[in-house]
Structure 1
Amino acid sequence: MEVQDAPPKKGVTIQKPEIKKPTSGSGPGKNHIYVREAEGRVETTRRVLGFVLMALFVVLPWLTWNGEQAVLLNILDQRFRIFGMTLWPQDLTILAWIFMVSAFALFLITTLFGRVWCGFTCPQTTWTFIFMWFERKIEGSRHQRMKLDERAMDADKFVRKFAKHGVWIIIAWLTAMTFVGYFTDIRALFQNFFVFEASAWAFGSVLFFTFATYGNAGWMREVMCTHMCPYARFQAAMFDKDTYIVAYDEARGEPRGPRKRKSDPRTQGLGDCIDCNLCVQVCPTGIDIRNGLQYECINCGACIDACDSVMDKMGYPKKLISFTTQRRLEGGETKVFRFKSVGYGLALLVLTLLLVADIVLRVPLEFDVIRDRASLYRENQEGWIENVYTLRVINKSQQAQRYTFSVDGVEDMQWYGPQELLLDPESSEIVPVTIAIDPYFIDAPIKEITFTIQSIDEASIKRNVRTNFIYQ
């Protein structure tokens, strides 16, 4: 996809470029983008960050904690294990805080630094660049790939295409296996997958995510960013004149045009841009940054490296294309602290504190008391009044726990049923009990009593539940 040059405009504008006869694209076809390899400080930063995030993604599901998989999001059993902490459906508030903290962190970063998430840390971008790296190693440079696609199918072209797609499928499969390994025992998954002993959902999920990764990173690429990702559509609402973006300095670069290396562009009435078009060739979404900021721009900075290398060769100052702000391009000073950024920052701080408080104050025990509603009460042989209760206990910790039960709120009572319970880690138990009270101590038809469960092993693990004792 090649973009027509637009007349120079002052400032930064958001527009969709006009498309003419395409010369680049992401898969065979007339809209295929042949991305040129970029080298430079921005690309190095992106590669290092991508490598770190990829390493975390691959390593995390293989780590163990107390002999168990450290990170296991077991949806089928409705429990998430995260480094010693097990979250159950009753802990949805913690998950809600995590999602809100992540959202406001993204809002704050976008307000300050634009779409750096898209360009440096988004999985779609990371995997796309990985696929493109292998594509270059197998099929050659941008020019060689274009020539290869123009050729009729021969043995060399078949081998290269077969090797490329084979590598893509292997990477996609490894990605899918690792991703599914976050939701099931990853060691068992790798052992059982090829002998067809993995569960149906695990096997189907691996095939689905293999296909999705292969399709997204290998074929769709920029289509995901420009047409399917909603972030590109609403991120403009978080931009202002002080947001850092990848931008072209029109005042310095225009009018653009070719020239000899040792010639003085000022005598020719030219700016610093030599119109080499490298900034377009290295762009993974195929836009021309010189036309102004466009929603397709993912702030990857590839055009910065390409332009800096040309400026070096020409002996011109760098940063004709750079991470900058509209206010700076207009001659002003960038304001980091402004209403929008401060507001997002305060919201992020409050939500983070609430998340930390919820985790710190969390008791790894769930205790419910359900009174038998089949019969309100009954009188035993001794004349005492009985109520039947069901105690539901969930041990949300990753260690076995011993618990004791007690009841308060009456002076004299009898307990029928177990008063101690040994519960395995991440398990639940239902305990039926009967409470009998001497009618002499019952001064109302409905009397409030309190059940207490206490861990014998850890004094801090304790729960109280209030319920009613009925006699009428």
Structure 2
Amino acid sequence: MSSEIPVKQVDPSSDPSNNNKKTGSVDLYASRKKIYVKEVKGFFQRIRNVSLTLLMGMYFLFVWLTLDGQPLIHFDLPAREFHLYGATFYPKDFILLSGMLIICAFGLFFITTLFGRVWCGYTCPQTVWTFIFMWVEERIEGSRNKRMKLDKAPLSGEKLARKSAKHTVWVLIALATGLTFVGYFYPIRELIADLFTFQASGWAYFWVLFFTVATYLNAGWMREQVCLYMCPYARFQSVMFDPNTRVVSYDPNRGEPRGGRKKGVTPSEAGLGDCIDCGQCVQVCPTGIDIRDGLQYECIGCALCIDACDEIMEKMDYPKGLIRYTTENELEGRTSKLLRPRTFGYGAVLALMISAVVITIATRVPAQLDVLRDRGALYSFNGQGRVENSYTLKIANMTEVPQTFSLSVRGLEDIQILTQTSLTVESGENRSLPTVVDVPPDSVEANNSTIYFQARSETDATLVLETESRFVGPTR
């Protein structure tokens, strides 16, 4: 039995939205239509307000906090030091950064397979700053209808005052954002003092200006354009979706057919579904889509349409949930599974990487001792008839304070260091020390023996470094 897909011939010239009716051509580019987002209150909006407050509070507060005189978070690029919550990391700790990035990636994949784009809707910086700018716009220019009327109205004193006030606040928020971001690389107290006394470098002024302009444009002007056209996540998210992924969805089985009716009229009496076709879900959407058209890549999972629809359902005395977080299987009456092979796979890799990074940090020694044997000569005899080998000791101090190390060597009978046996290394410093070691000829039982160098800190008794090397001597 054959099946056919219904096909409808579309004539571009008959499309009322096409401006080239006479020529029959189709525009491949359409100018952006400004989206006027209506303010809505509800359960998911309260969740977003909490997450927004926490994230913005941490962003603007942490840059000012110090621990033992050191900024809580400071990326000191000239010194190649990264101070995070009292610990100092160096370029040699790059493997930890790689682990962190893998954790972030698989964490995003894991959450996406379960709940779709909740990252975009609640914690993405673009969403967070856009909602702040929208909140400012709402407070200064008024509700959605007032903003639309204001934009269409001719230039007047009131319009100029409101627009100027809005953009002034936007610029101030953007400037605070730029200053704070640069403050994570240039101590914020010094940065502000140097900027306003014109003592800062040109690069400091450049980056503050760059992030100020970027924030102002992205959150104030581009908004949903960043999510739709610039963010790669919107394009590859569907790869991680399956019929069990819980996303914001409209229930057509319950809502269709749509139609208006008076309050108190039940859907059965009206011969319609629960959707009254009020359009509130479209008016509150920050990307301007109609969720009733099905899952779309433009949806950022913010759930504002859920709050708006639930408010209407409550007014109509209908059950809430016409638009809700649900899965494709549930909409089709099938059972939905929370855990599945893809989820287990992402979760296993995520747990493995978190464990690896935690163990690495927990066992990380805040100093390092490396020994390089001089390969230019095998061995030599000194004036006392003892066998000598030359080495270069390299000590890296990754603690916050200077460390004085006492050096020793073991592994062969009567082995000793002939050169300097004490070395002071400043915080964040790497020092090299040429070292000569000798032993009596009778102690050399093989032409290649294992010896151990030890550096014991006199500043911190718990800090003991040890590494092995080789001692070459004559064959007996």
* TM-score (normalizing by structure 2): 0.88
Aligned pairs (5 A) from 1:349-388:
349-373=351-375, 377-388=379-390
CA distance in 2, matches of 1:164, 1:281: 21
Alpha-carbon contact 2:133-2:170 (below 8 Å) kept: yes
Choose 429-438 or 286-295, whichever is displaced more: 429-438
**Larger relative contact order, structure 1 or 2 (CA cutoff 8 Å, min sep 6):** 1
Does residue 1:229 correspond to 2:246, yes or no?
no
Number of the residue aligned with 1:47: 49
Deviation at 1:459, TM superposition (A): 4.5
Number of the residue aligned with 1:425: 427
CA distance in 2, matches of 1:374, 1:347: 46
Number of the residue aligned with 2:347: 345
Deviation at 1:346, TM superposition (A): 2.2
The DSSP-based 3-state class of the residue aligned with 2:88 is: strand
Number of the residue aligned with 1:244: 246
CA distance in 2, matches of 1:414, 1:358: 34
Deviation at 1:471, TM superposition (A): 5.4
CA distance in 1, matches of 2:201, 2:473: 52
Deviation at 1:202, TM superposition (A): 2.7
Spell out, residue by residue over 1:239-274, the C-alpha distance to the aligned partner (whole angstroms, 9 max, x if none): 112211100010111111122223343233211111
Deviation at 1:173, TM superposition (A): 1.1
CA distance in 1, matches of 2:76, 2:180: 14
CA distance in 2, matches of 1:197, 1:20: 56
Which of 148, 158, 161 is matched with 2:160 structurally? 158
Alpha-carbon contact 1:248-1:290 (below 8 Å) kept: yes
Query: Given the superposition, is the C-alpha separation of residues 65 and 20 from structure 1 closer, same or farther in structure 2, using an over 3 Å criterion?
Result: farther
CA distance in 2, matches of 1:188, 1:427: 23
CA distance in 2, matches of 1:43, 1:214: 23
User: What letter corresponds to residue 197 of structure 1 in structure 2?
Assistant: Q
The DSSP-based 3-state class of the residue aligned with 1:59 is: helix
Which of 36, 39, 58 is matched with 1:37 structurally? 39
Number of the residue aligned with 1:113: 115
Number of the residue aligned with 1:394: 396
Q: Which runs of 5+ in 2 are unaligned?
A: 1-14, 19-30
CA distance in 2, matches of 1:468, 1:176: 53
Number of the residue aligned with 1:306: 308
The DSSP-based 3-state class of the residue aligned with 1:316 is: coil
User: What letter corresponds to residue 189 of structure 2 in structure 1?
Assistant: R
Number of the residue aligned with 2:144: 142
Alpha-carbon contact 1:400-1:422 (below 8 Å) kept: yes
| Percent identity (aligned) | 47
Choose 387-396 or 118-127, whichever is displaced more: 387-396
Deviation at 1:444, TM superposition (A): 5.0
Q: How many residues align?
A: 448
Aligned pairs (5 A) from 1:427-442:
427-442=429-444
Spell out, residue by residue over 1:169-214, the C-alpha distance to the aligned partner (whole angstroms, 9 max, x if none): 1111111111122222122112212222223333322111111111
Number of the residue aligned with 1:318: 320
User: What letter corresponds to residue 296 of structure 1 in structure 2?
Assistant: E
User: What letter corresponds to residue 280 of structure 1 in structure 2?
Assistant: V
Number of the residue aligned with 2:214: 212
Number of the residue aligned with 2:452: 450
Choose 82-91 or 432-441, whichever is displaced more: 432-441
The DSSP-based 3-state class of the residue aligned with 1:432 is: strand
Query: Given the superposition, is the C-alpha separation of residues 270 and 410 from structure 1 closer, same or farther in structure 2, using an over 3 Å criterion?
Result: same
CA distance in 1, matches of 2:444, 2:36: 84
Deviation at 1:280, TM superposition (A): 0.7
Choose 378-387 or 64-73, whichever is displaced more: 378-387
CA distance in 1, matches of 2:17, 2:235: 23
Query: Given the superposition, is the C-alpha separation of residues 20 and 399 from structure 1 closer, same or farther in structure 2, using an over 3 Å criterion?
Result: farther
Number of the residue aligned with 1:81: 83
User: What letter corresponds to residue 229 of structure 2 in structure 1?
Assistant: H
Alpha-carbon contact 2:287-2:299 (below 8 Å) kept: yes
CA distance in 2, matches of 1:350, 1:459: 33
Number of the residue aligned with 1:405: 407
The DSSP-based 3-state class of the residue aligned with 1:246 is: strand
Q: Which runs of 5+ in 1 are unaligned?
A: 1-17, 22-28
Choose 144-153 or 131-140, whichever is displaced more: 144-153
Choose 455-464 or 245-254, whichever is displaced more: 455-464
Number of the residue aligned with 1:15: none
Does residue 1:92 correspond to 2:79, yes or no?
no
CA distance in 2, matches of 1:171, 1:117: 23
The DSSP-based 3-state class of the residue aligned with 1:266 is: helix
CA distance in 1, matches of 2:216, 2:83: 29
Deviation at 1:439, TM superposition (A): 4.2
The DSSP-based 3-state class of the residue aligned with 1:255 is: coil
Number of the residue aligned with 1:272: 274
CA distance in 2, matches of 1:242, 1:306: 25
CA distance in 2, matches of 1:44, 1:19: 41
* TM-score (normalizing by structure 1): 0.89
Query: Given the superposition, is the C-alpha separation of residues 377 and 195 from structure 1 closer, same or farther in structure 2, using an over 3 Å criterion?
Result: farther
User: What letter corresponds to residue 415 of structure 1 in structure 2?
Assistant: I
Spell out, residue by residue over 1:409-452, the C-alpha distance to the aligned partner (whole angstroms, 9 max, x if none): 33234423321223333333222222234445445555443222
Choose 205-214 or 97-106, whichever is displaced more: 97-106
Query: Given the superposition, is the C-alpha separation of residues 373 and 206 from structure 1 closer, same or farther in structure 2, using an over 3 Å criterion?
Result: farther
Query: Given the superposition, is the C-alpha separation of residues 444 and 199 from structure 1 closer, same or farther in structure 2, using an over 3 Å criterion?
Result: farther
Number of the residue aligned with 1:11: none
Alpha-carbon contact 1:446-1:471 (below 8 Å) kept: yes
Number of the residue aligned with 1:173: 175
Query: Given the superposition, is the C-alpha separation of residues 449 and 61 from structure 1 closer, same or farther in structure 2, using an over 3 Å criterion?
Result: same
Aligned pairs (5 A) from 1:254-265:
254-265=256-267
Number of the residue aligned with 2:126: 124
CA distance in 2, matches of 1:19, 1:324: 36
Alpha-carbon contact 1:363-1:462 (below 8 Å) kept: no
Deviation at 1:405, TM superposition (A): 1.0
CA distance in 2, matches of 1:129, 1:108: 26
Alpha-carbon contact 2:409-2:416 (below 8 Å) kept: no
Spell out, residue by residue over 1:44-101, the C-alpha distance to the aligned partner (whole angstroms, 9 max, x if none): 1111111111111111122211221111122332221112211112222222222222
